[in-house]
Amino acid sequence: MKGYSAWSLIREGLRHHLGWGRAWGSPEPRRRYEVVIVGAGGHGLATAYYLARNHGITDIAVLEKGWLGGGNTGRNTTIIRSNYLHDPSAAIYEKARQLYEDLSQELDFNIMFSPRGVMMLAQTEHEKRVWQRVAHANVLQGIDTRFIGPEEVKRRVPIINIDGPRYPVLGALWQPRGGTARHDAVAWGYARALDRMGVHIIENCEVTGIRTEGGKVVGVDTGKGPIDCGKLALVVAGHSSRLAEMAGFRLPMESVTLQAFVSEPVKPMLDVVVMANTVHGYISQSDKGELVIGGGTDGYVNYTQRGAFHHVEETVTALVETFPVIGRMRLMRQWGGIVDVTGDRSPILSKTPVENLYVNCGWGTGGFKAIPGSGWAMAELVATGEPGALAEPFALSRFREGRFIDESVAAGVAH
């Protein structure tokens, strides 16, 4: 596979870009693999990548029922931040943010990481106190965040209305090294690197059953035939509970739809990410000029990917109040993603009641930002059979033992 460089771009440009070839292959599945990972989204691909990179395991098949990156990885609002309250959350999200910084160079693929800064507005006195508390916690965690006043908010975001009639801006939690990345490029970069390592990525290969013997996983049944494995990792976001049922256990999570949409493209007007949890809206501007907008989750369990009109109405109302300049812009498209939500709004990276079967799920509305850190921690768990420092707090046992990591405020609405 050809590497990317200035010389290769010039050469292929002169050849009308006819010599690039496929970024990753389309192999037929073998009868057995050492590790099978179900889910070729960002988290599944990152798990496979760090299994190969950090632990030398390349006898891996990554199975995807549709196309690579076609689930939540391609349906989110691309925000990256690590300003969480509790130490375990801050640790894994900050690991992810740090890995994002150099991911383009490591994968030899431009993921368009943009550390433009993330601003989380305080629009009630209660929220102001919450963000000040988070800022103090982040200082102790070694994460660069601080609470800023409304004057600095206005200076950094001139188009914002800080004197809104319902919810004026009282300040914001500011993380200067947070930002965005291109969601598709993250998946494509990992996939291309995995193909170079000899890992099989098998698309259009839905898992229809999980086979166990004596309480131990031995393989999966798929639309392309049975595949045996030594270890199995389920990394399928909102569909995790369905696959867990195939293996004979239940997960403490539910699946709901999260809304997102984009506007028509306009000239640059917003160079930071702004999140407003009180009014359930968050916004950034893409490199193409579109305003990428997100809202809240549906209030009922469902697997639709269409989005609900009432959420669009609520989110647009809130954002027009906060950013009056966008009032006459047109929405270009709308969609929903199936997110997996736990009771404490924190993920699950854990062994399961079935031996050699591991699960990575429950990221809720914060999955994209965690991809590299999630893959790093999950790879260690699968390779060694025991959780490392990043994954250990997120074991399934915490729900039985009452060791909740309650991130409802930090993760309840926004990516």
Low-confidence ranges of the chain (pLDDT < 70): 1-2, 307, 410-415
CATH number belonging to domain 118-178+255-342: 3.30.9.10
Q: Can you give the pLDDT at residue 414?
A: 43
Query: For residues 410 and 79, what is the distance between their CA atoms, to the nearest angstrom?
Result: 13
Residue type, 314: E
Tokens 């790093």: give the residue: 376
Question: CB burial class (10 A; 0-12, 13-18, 19+) of residue 230?
Answer: middle
Which DSSP state fits 125?
H
Q: 26-82+84-109+183-251+344-411 and 118-178+255-342: same fold?
A: no
| Fold classification of 26-82+84-109+183-251+344-411 (topology level) | FAD/NAD(P)-binding domain (3.50.50)
Distance CA 316, CA 132 (A): 27
| 316 token code pair | 């647009």
Domain limits, the chain: 26-82+84-109+183-251+344-411, 118-178+255-342
In three-state secondary structure terms, 266 is coil
3-class secondary-structure state, position 364: helix
Angle at 113 between CA 25 and CA 22, to 5 degrees: 15
Give the tens place of pLDDT for each residue, 78-122: 999 999 999 999 999 999 999 999 999 999 999 999 999 999 999
Angstrom distance (rounded) from CA 112 to CA 138: 26
How far apart are alpha carbons 323 and 157 in whole angstroms?
10
User: Would you call 225 helix, strand, or coil by DSSP?
Assistant: strand
